[in-house]
Structure 1
Amino acid sequence: MKLYYGPGACSMGIHVILEEIGKPYALEPVALKDGAQHQPAYKAVNPKSKVPALAREGRPILTEWPAIAFCLATSSPEAGLWPKDPEEQVRALEVMDYVAGTIHAQGFTRMFRPANFAPGEADLDKVKAQGRANAEKGFAIIDQQWQGGDWVLPSGYSVADAALFFVEYWAAKRAGVPLPPRLAAHFERMLARPAVRRALEQEGLSA
């Protein structure tokens, strides 16, 4: 397997999952800040021009965060990253979709890339403020609906935790967005996991 990733991007969560699984894989960095995702070489890998993308032997390249996480977790059941109970399975999908589709796309993307949403330069600050509000609202909802103990799901650690981690990391390390109590505690537990620390080190990021 090969993970196409951007250091510190949402692909960090998939990187964590690969480290948790423990099977051999390769890393291929994509220089997002330099616009490499829009160049022909990477568009041949993923025409959507974003990360993560996962190359699998003998199969088409897989894209989209929840799909990659589901694939990795279910193809490596021995790692215990996918819940066995059907209700918890749908809850895991629910959290992953909300993180990727709302907290990330409507929250942090507005903060980090406001020009993608603003009709003019005068609107950039409004877009950033809206993104911050969206991220804070998303975190508050997850905190209020928390069903687990230490981890997102009552049954224990799963790919849903890796999804939540990458937006928690952005909040704490990049954007200065306060995390609600349960999420702040979750973030600290994630930082203590060896797989998380290995992934961060490989991407040149601080724990």
Structure 2
Amino acid sequence: MKLYYAPGTCSLGIHVILEEVGSPFELARLSLQSGDHKKPDFTAVNPKSKVPTLQRDDGSVLTEWPAIAYWLAATNPGAGLWPGDPAEQTRALEAMDFIVGTLHGHAFSRLFNQGKYAPSEADHPKVIEQGRAMVAAAYAEIERKWEGDPWLLASGYSVADAALFYVTLWARKFGVDLPPKVAKHWEAMLARPAVQRAMKTEGLAA
């Protein structure tokens, strides 16, 4: 397997999952600042021009964070990254969709790219203010729905925890106040060897 990634982006979560799984994999590092994701060598692999992108051993390619996470968990049951109970599986899907689609896709997106939402630079502070409010609201909802200790789900550690980890890295970067359970989750994630390996490889500091 080969993971196309950019350090500190959402691909970090998939990198963590690959480390948890323990199967051999390669890393292909991209620089978004240099536009590597838009260059022909990469768009030939993933025309969507984004990470994470996982090329499987048979050459086929998977894109989109939840799909990659699910496939890795489902094809490596011994890693214990996917709940066995259908009700808990549904909760895992619900959490991933909210984290990736809402907290990342709508809230943090406003903190990273104001021009996407307001072409006029004069309006960028308003976009940032809106983004911060959306991030806070999303974390409050995650805290309200929390079922495990310290993991998101009552059934224990899962790929949903890797999703929460990468956005919390961003939250700390932007000085977001973390709710108590999310803060505890962050510390628990940092204690996992798989997380430590991924962070070290990507040159990231906690």
* TM-score category of the 2 structures, normalised to the smaller one: over 0.9
Specify the alignment match of 1:192 in structure 2. 191
Specify the alignment match of 1:179 in structure 2. 178
Specify the alignment match of 2:128 in structure 1. 128
Q: Which moved more, 1:76-85 or 1:55-64?
A: 55-64
Q: Which moved more, 1:83-92 or 1:43-52?
A: 43-52
Deviations 1:52-106 (A, max 9, x none): 0000022520000000000000000000000000000010011111111010011
Specify the alignment match of 1:158 in structure 2. 158
Deviations 1:110-141 (A, max 9, x none): 10111121121111111111111111111100
Specify the alignment match of 1:99 in structure 2. 99
Specify the alignment match of 1:36 in structure 2. 36
Q: Which moved more, 1:8-17 or 1:122-131?
A: 122-131
**Matched residue SS, 1:32:** coil
| Percent of pairs with identical residues | 57
- 1:30-179 alignment to 2 at 5 Å? 30-172=30-172, 174-179=173-178
- TM-score, scaled relative to structure 1: 0.97
Q: Where has structure 1 moved over 6 Å in runs of 4 or more?
A: none
Compute the displacement of 1:202 (Å): 0.2
Compute the displacement of 1:166 (Å): 0.5
Work out the CA distance in 1 between the residues paired with 2:35 and 2:102.
23
Deviations 1:16-67 (A, max 9, x none): 0000111100000111111211222211111111100000022520000000
Work out the CA distance in 2 between the residues paired with 1:37 and 1:115.
19
Could you list the runs of 5+ residues in structure 1 that have no partner in the other structure?
none
Work out the CA distance in 2 between the residues paired with 1:109 and 1:37.
17
Aligned residues: 206
Work out the CA distance in 2 between the residues paired with 1:27 and 1:67.
19
Work out the CA distance in 2 between the residues paired with 1:122 and 1:24.
48
Work out the CA distance in 2 between the residues paired with 1:87 and 1:30.
37
- TM-score, scaled relative to structure 2: 0.98
Work out the CA distance in 2 between the residues paired with 1:108 and 1:135.
7
Work out the CA distance in 2 between the residues paired with 1:128 and 1:69.
29
Name the Cα RMSD after superposition. 0.9
